[in-house]
């Protein structure tokens, strides 16, 4: 197991900066997600931690030792690639034992270790099968077996489930997480899928354009997004943004959206200028007594809940409400907001006001 710390790590490819100065710590045994849209720099960050790419500047520590300029072979880690390239001419046992044999381990020890790994992964019964005819799931397990057999300090995975169909992906995600919980090895996992990150991760780093936007536990990132980017990237449908200009706190704790006063947390008092009022769809409540109203323009049925889209004086707004709420197109509905669930952002910088 290992603690991994990156400090002011930056990566340039020629004139292009793929990762801006980034710092965060991955604690021993954590399942840690690097999340962001395509091209945001998450793979490059992972590759630098793994030693497959050298940082332009900054430090990388594994268990306190600075390894930033050391190659992968000197870092005692295992990399699981998206495309599980197994050795096609070997059977399952051959594939899993290969890393141990190439280290010169004795046959008896190799067999014992392969047996343990097969037990953990539940693949005892296919050890002598050729890998060619295996199902996608079994190929995945064999590839994992090959990665875990060496007992590395940490695992690095780059979209390992990316090539799988949705149902199977979910199943493998659960298996991976369960495997991690049994083994407890530090795991760093790249994904562009916010749901996968929320479901599997102990902690998440959200990146955009080479910048770390936020770092924390999934619930804090969801409840307290640090930037508008994070608020939109996480959650489906994403957080609603209503733009307004003004000053908060003339009387203390309200904003005026088109002359309707809406309560906001007292801590946001004093903010002014172009601001964004952020509220998640599940926190928009139907409230007959509310002055702020929206006109229903669409509904989307999702089983137990429905997504209702409103036209409001400040733009479109989506609410997630119970399906049994009767809603008709064109209806005007009062909308209530619990101050504790509102995030205010500086509209220009996109940063949350705390």
Residue partners of 98: CB distance under 8 A and separation at least 6: 87, 90, 146
Nearest to ligand ATP of 155, 244 (CB atom):
155
Nearest to ligand ATP of 54, 302 (CB atom):
54
Q: Which residue in the shown chain puts its C-beta closest to ligand ATP?
A: 43
Query: How far apart are CB 51 and ligand ATP at their closest, in Å?
Result: 15
Nearest to ligand ATP of 41, 281 (CB atom):
41
Query: How far apart are CB 14 and ligand ATP at their closest, in Å?
Result: 7
> What is the C-alpha to C-alpha distance for residues 301 and 322, in angstroms, rounded to an integer?
10
What residue ranges bind ligand ATP (CB under 6 A)?
13, 16, 18, 36, 38-44, 192
Query: How far apart are CB 54 and ligand ATP at their closest, in Å?
Result: 11
Query: How far apart are CB 37 and ligand ATP at their closest, in Å?
Result: 7
Query: How far apart are CB 18 and ligand ATP at their closest, in Å?
Result: 3
Nearest to ligand ATP of 36, 278 (CB atom):
36
Query: How far apart are CB 12 and ligand ATP at their closest, in Å?
Result: 9
Nearest to ligand ATP of 58, 334 (CB atom):
58
**b/e sequence 132-150, b meaning 16+ C-beta within 10 Å:** eebeeebbbbbbbbbbbbb
Nearest to ligand ATP of 42, 93 (CB atom):
42
Query: How far apart are CB 125 and ligand ATP at their closest, in Å?
Result: 35
Q: Which two tokens mark 143?
A: 């590839």
Instruction: Tell me the DSSP string of 115-131.
Output: HHHHHHHT-GGGTTSBG
Contact 181, 30 (CB under 8 A): no
Q: How far apart are the first and last CA of the chain?
A: 35
> What is the C-alpha to C-alpha distance for residues 203 and 220, in angstroms, rounded to an integer?
10
- The number of helices, as runs of H, and strands, as runs of E, in the chain is 8, 20
Nearest to ligand ATP of 26, 342 (CB atom):
26
Residue among 188, 333, 347 nearest 275 (CA):
347
> What is the C-alpha to C-alpha distance for residues 297 and 275, in angstroms, rounded to an integer?
25
Residue among 314, 310, 313 nearest 325 (CA):
310
Q: Which two tokens mark 342?
A: 């509102």
Query: How far apart are CB 3 and ligand ATP at their closest, in Å?
Result: 23
Query: How far apart are CB 183 and ligand ATP at their closest, in Å?
Result: 25
Nearest to ligand ATP of 37, 265 (CB atom):
37
Name the packing angle between helices 107-121 and 166-183 (round to 10°).
120
DSSP 91: B
Q: If residue 274 lies in a helix (H) or strand (E), which one and from where to where?
A: strand 272-279
Nearest to ligand ATP of 42, 318 (CB atom):
42
């Amino acid at each position: 197991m290992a603690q991994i710390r990156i400090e002011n790590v930056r990566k340039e490819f020629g004139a292009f900066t793929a990762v801006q100065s980034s710092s965060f710590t991955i604690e021993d045994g954590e399942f840690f997600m690097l999340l962001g849209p395509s091209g945001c720099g998450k793979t490059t960050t992972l590759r630098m931690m793994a030693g497959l790419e050298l940082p332009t500047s900054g430090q990388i520590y594994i268990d306190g030792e600075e390894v930033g300029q050391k190659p992968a072979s000197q870092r005692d880690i295992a990399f699981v690639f998206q495309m599980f390239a197994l050795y096609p001419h070997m059977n399952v046992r051959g594939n899993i034992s290969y890393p141990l044999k190439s280290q010169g381990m004795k046959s008896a020890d190799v067999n014992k270790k392969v047996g343990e790994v097969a037990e953990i992964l539940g693949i005892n019964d296919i050890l002598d099968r050729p890998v060619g005819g295996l199902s996608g799931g079994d190929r995945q397990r064999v590839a994992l077996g090959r990665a875990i057999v060496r007992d590395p300090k940490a695992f690095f995975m780059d979209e390992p489930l990316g090539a799988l169909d949705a149902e199977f992906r979910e199943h493998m995600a659960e298996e991976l997480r369960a495997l991690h919980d049994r083994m407890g090895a530090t795991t760093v996992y790249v994904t562009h899928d916010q749901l996968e990150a929320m479901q599997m991760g102990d902690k998440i780093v959200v990146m955009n354009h080479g910048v770390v936007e936020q770092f924390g536990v999934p619930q804090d990132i969801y409840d307290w997004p640090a930037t508008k980017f994070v608020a939109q990237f996480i959650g489906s449908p994403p957080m609603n943004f209503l733009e307004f200009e003004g000053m908060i706190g003339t009387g203390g704790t309200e904003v005026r959206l088109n002359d309707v006063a809406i309560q906001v947390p007292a801590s946001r008092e004093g903010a002014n200028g172009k601001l964004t009022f952020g509220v998640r769809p599940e926190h928009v409540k139907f409230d007959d007594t509310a002055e702020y109203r929206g006109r229903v323009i669409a509904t989307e049925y999702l089983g137990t809940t429905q997504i209702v889209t409103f036209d409001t004086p400040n733009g479109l707004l989506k609410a997630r409400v119970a399906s049994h709420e009767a809603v008709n197109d064109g209806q005007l509905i009062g909308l209530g907001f619990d101050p504790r669930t509102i995030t205010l952002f500086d509209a220009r910088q996109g940063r949350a006001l705390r």
